[in-house]
């Protein structure tokens, strides 16, 4: 004698209910998708120019400065022949992207000035050390300039790294995202120099994300 399994009845009913409602739901989803595609095609057709005239750029794009006219803080210093730093012993906080608008690194620009004593180079990322050494004359760095990373000091320069320096110059290119240590490094340098009594000069650089507005003096 076979005893029927009454527990299968709800399961079979549920499966039947799903199969009944799945087909209409799929049909409705397909109709919605087709409608969205048609609406997108009509919108594109409405904004497509009928002649060969070029589409005028938006006001936001036209208001952005040309890259040929953008000057970084290091470019302004070069035009001033580094007079604000004449005779100063400088500690430079930079990275591989610290370059002039003519793709010359800030370290090389300071060394070529001839009126500045570059004593220390502080890097947020230790991987920038190879680039700095490769892009500058070896005889100008070896034995004369200290190169250190701030990644192991909590983003704060220690007193021995700034020993013998008169001023700290920060030339860091930010990329507009939080994981990049630029802002944390700048904060650590400002905090440490306030404690040590050293002046800090921050060279301005535009944020590559956006660029439509400029805040502060350049």
Q: Is residue 156 part of a domain?
A: yes
Burial class (CB in 10 A: 0-12, 13-18, 19+), 123: buried
What CATH number corresponds to the domain at position 158? 3.40.50.12170
Task: Compute φ and ψ for 100, nearest 5 degrees.
Answer: -75, 175
Looking at residue 129, its pLDDT comes to 82
pLDDT of residue 118: 92
35 plus 130 within the same structural domain: no
Same domain, 42 and 106: no
Kindly state whether residues 38 and 138 are assigned to the same domain: no
pLDDT of 73 reads: 93
Per-position DSSP letters for 58-83, written without gaps between them: PHHHHHSPPTTT---HHHHHHHTTTG
What pLDDT is stored for residue 164 in this prediction? 92
User: What domain range is 33 assigned to?
Assistant: 9-46
Q: Do residues 130 and 194 both lie within one domain?
A: yes
**CA-to-CA distance for 81 and 41, rounded, in angstroms?**
58
Q: What is the pLDDT of residue 11?
A: 47
Q: Would you state the pLDDT for residue 85?
A: 93
194 and 89 fall within a common domain: yes
Counting as low any pLDDT under 50, the low residues of the chain are 4, 6-8, 10-11, 13-14, 16-17, 20, 47-67, 218
Q: What is the pLDDT of residue 38?
A: 66
The pTM score is 0.64
Q: How many domains does the chain have?
A: 2
Radius of gyration of the chain (CA): 31
Q: Is residue 42 part of a domain?
A: yes
């Amino acid at each position: 004698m076979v005893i029927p399994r009454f527990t299968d009845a709800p399961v079979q009913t549920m499966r039947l209910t799903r199969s009944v409602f799945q087909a209409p739901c799929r049909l409705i989803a397909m109709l919605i998708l087709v409608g969205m595609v048609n609406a997108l095609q009509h919108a594109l057709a409405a904004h497509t120019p009928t002649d060969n005239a070029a589409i005028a750029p938006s006001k936001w794009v036209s208001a952005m400065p040309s890259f040929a006219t953008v000057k970084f803080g290091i470019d302004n210093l070069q035009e001033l022949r580094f007079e604000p730093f004449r005779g100063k012993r400088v500690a430079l906080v930079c990275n591989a992207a610290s370059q002039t608008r003519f793709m010359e690194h800030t370290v090389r620009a300071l060394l070529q000035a001839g009126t500045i004593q570059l004593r220390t180079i502080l890097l947020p990322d230790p991987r920038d050390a190879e680039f700095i050494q490769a892009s500058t004359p070896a005889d100008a760095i070896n034995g004369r300039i200290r190169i250190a990373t701030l990644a192991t000091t909590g983003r704060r320069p220690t007193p021995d790294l700034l020993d013998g320096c008169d001023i700290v110059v920060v030339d860091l290119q930010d990329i507009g995202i939080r994981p990049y240590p630029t802002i944390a490094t700048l904060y650590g340098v400002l905090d440490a120099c306030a404690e040590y009594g050293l002046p800090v000069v921050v060279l301005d650089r535009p944020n590559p994300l956006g660029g439509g507005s400029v805040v502060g003096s350049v």
